[in-house]
Amino acid sequence: MNFAPTESQEMMIDAAKRMVRDRIDPVLARHPVDKPLPRAAMLEIYAALAELGITAPRLPVEVGGGLNMLDYGLILEQLPAVVSLSLTSHEGTVARIYSGCPAEIAAQYLPDLIAGRKIACTANSEVNAGSDSNAVRTRIRVEGDHAYLTGRKMWITNASVCDVFNVSGTLGNDQRGRPMAQRALVDRSLCDVEVREIEVTGLQQGHLSEVVFDEARIPRSHLIGDAGDAAKTLTVGWNGNRPLIGLMCLHMAQKAFEQAVEYAKVREQFGKPLAAHQLVQQDLAEIETLIVSARLLCYHALDTIDRGQRANGTSAMAKRYATQACERAIHLAMQVHGAMGITAELGLERLWRDTRMFQVPDGMNGILALIQGREITGISAFR
């Protein structure tokens, strides 16, 4: 088993780092770190992402995709976390729209989404339907040539800057009383949708919102896929997203580690550099161990997907471990910096707040443990 990147993977990583340095970091630096980026800034970032070819990696190569998940993860790990989270919401939605989408709808929307001229997001979670996607209560009523959506979605990434939503709703219950889930494409230029930004502790340049649909009318042709396939498409997306979220955390933990090593070499206490003290070396060793082990778990989960194997448990394990490990790694890096570690000036506290955010999307850690437990035992603890 060879863990070294191939030559082509090294080239992908280098290209991503150059793009971040030249195209993305300057955009982020022009705007306050504690306010959501304007839509114009997001479109500038998406133009760069499209040039790199990562706005639709999960689509077949003939329609603008073609990256395997591990290569995509290697690229994504190089991006600022607020950008990579937005990107996974967008490109995951592109994959969901493509799956089961009528040809005419694909032709109308996919080119602009792949080119980064438009932004997409998925609206699934609700107040009482977070981890339990079968509890979705947003109603879809079909009448003639139109469908009408009514419901409230929470914690929706990209909602305030997006052009189209992939919305999970229900057509009602089947004969056994189970909800008939249905996906719908909502074009914001065709109907009124209320979007409210949610103030959060981290990733404050990003966009996390509540979305309200009140009899939002869409063309009937914008219903995507078959009734009942929404849960499957969500699960397939989550399996890929979870290790990718772990790699977003690793991007920040790696930065904190590098800062801690540099600081430990130059800061002196008791007549010698911090790096010469045994407990500081122990902290640095622990940080590196947390980062390396989390990275390998995430790579393993993405490789499992690429090999076509069942990834429900490995993906859940990767995200759960990586998000916790990286939060711990940044905490230790703050400890190495002493009083400087808690200053806004140094930025470590912002890395910690941003990393803590990632324990929420695509499954809380407790739920992820139960998913992994189900894969181990073959018994579900959910119901």
pLDDT at 226: 78
Residue 256 near residue 348 (C-beta atoms within 8 A): yes
pLDDT tens for 144-174 read 999 999 999 999 999 999 999 999 999 887 7
pLDDT at 148: 97
Buried residues in 139-158 as b, exposed as e (16+ CB within 10 A)? bbeeeeeebbbebebbbbbb
Reduced 3-state DSSP string for the chain: CCCCCCHHHHHHHHHHHHHHHHHHHHHHHCCCCCCCCCHHHHHHHHHHHHHHCCCCCCCCHHHCCCCCHHHHHHHHCCCCHHHHHHHHHHHHHHHHHHCCCCHHHHHHHHHHHHCCCCCEEEECCECCECCCHHHCCCEEEEECCEEEEEEEEEEEECHHHCCEEEEEEEEEECCCCCEEEEEEEEECCCCCCEEEECCCCCCCCCCEEEEEEEEEEEEHHHEECCCCCHHHHHHHHHHHHHHHHHHHHHHHHHHHHHHHHHHHHHCEECCEEHHHCHHHHHHHHHHHHHHHHHHHHHHHHHHHHHCCCCCHHHHHHHHHHHHHHHHHHHHHHHHHCHHHHHCCCCCHHHHHHHHHHCCCCCCCHHHHHHHHHHHHHCCCCCC
pLDDT at position 165: 96
Predicted model pTM = 0.94
Query: What whole-number distance in Å separates Cα of residue 9 and Cα of residue 175?
Result: 51
- Could you identify the residue written with the tokens 């409210």? 196
Q: Report d(CA 366, CA 364) in Å as an integer.
A: 6
Q: Which residues have C-beta within 8 Å of that of residue 378, sequence separation ≥ 6? A: none
- Cβ neighbours of residue 217 under 8 Å, at least 6 residues apart? 146, 147, 148, 190, 191
- Measured distance CA(251)–CA(349) in Å, rounded: 15
- Please give the pLDDT value at position 237: 84
Domains of the chain in sequence order: 7-114 (1.10.540.10), 120-226 (2.40.110.10), 232-377 (1.20.140.10)
Q: Residue 372 has what pLDDT?
A: 94
Structure tokens at 169: 């709703």
**Residue 76: exposed, middle, or buried by beta-carbon count in 10 A (0-12, 13-18, 19+)?**
buried
| pLDDT value of residue 1 | 66
Instruction: Check residue 178 and give its pLDDT.
Output: 73
Residue spans of the chain under pLDDT 70: 1, 133, 177, 230, 383
Q: Residue 187: what pLDDT?
A: 96
